[in-house]
Amino acid sequence: MTGTKQVAALTLALTACAVGGFLAYQFWEASQEDSVEPLPFIEEAPIADAPREPTEPSYRPIFSLSDLDGVERSIEEWDGRILVINFWATWCAPCRREIPMLIDLQKDYSDRNVQVIGIAVDFLEDVRAYAAETPFNYPILVGEQDAIEIAGQFGVAFVGMPFTVVTDATGLIVERHTGELLREEALEILDGLVE
């Protein structure tokens, strides 16, 4: 990795940590004063590896990101499908562990109206190099800093990766999961959605 890329990668990581720390501090500060309401999206964000809990109903945001070929793709391209949207990075070990399960999930559920979408919070060149060695069977979009903003639009505080959002065929968010998603957890979520 070149010096410039190292600085850029460090800047991206530090920004993510700073955003998470700032939001956590705001939540703590707000909880110390009875007259101040906590930020609602902080309450909705699960803590990494915590048991899954029902989330408040809301719909997925509309956004576009570039794929590995540099083609701008809109999330609306997959309207009418159950979406498993996974935020990940090449430098994240739990993310890399999760990818084979997501590949199997796409293979097993593609004929049941389910679409896995990967959103890399990473640099395009790094994601392309990783994808050259990984048999992805689902679209990979690259967000860099934009992916952090998109995660916030999904109601997820960027406190760690990976995190996954599942929407039903109408776009309703039915699950937000921070931390590595296990196959059993994914099947439990999908079995309540697929026909």
pLDDT tens-digit profile of 35-71? 333 323 323 334 344 444 444 548 899 999 999 999 9
Q: Are 148 and 141 in contact (CB under 8 A)?
A: no
pLDDT band at 77; cut points 50, 70, 90? very high
Helix (H) or strand (E) holding 190: helix 183-191
Residue 34: phi and psi, rounded to 5, are -60, -30
Q: Are 127 and 133 in contact (CB under 8 A)?
A: no
Please give the pLDDT value at position 92.
94
Q: Are 35 and 165 in contact (CB under 8 A)?
A: no
DSSP 8-state symbol, 22? H
Convert the pLDDT of each residue in 132-163 to its tens digit.
999 999 999 998 888 888 988 887 766 678 99
Ordered structural domains, the chain, with CATH: 46-191 (3.40.30.10)
Query: Cα separation of 58 and 97, whole Å?
Result: 29
Inform me whether the pLDDT recorded for 24 exceeds 70. no
Residue 134: phi and psi, rounded to 5, are -120, 130
Q: Tell me the whole-structure pTM to 2 decimals.
A: 0.70
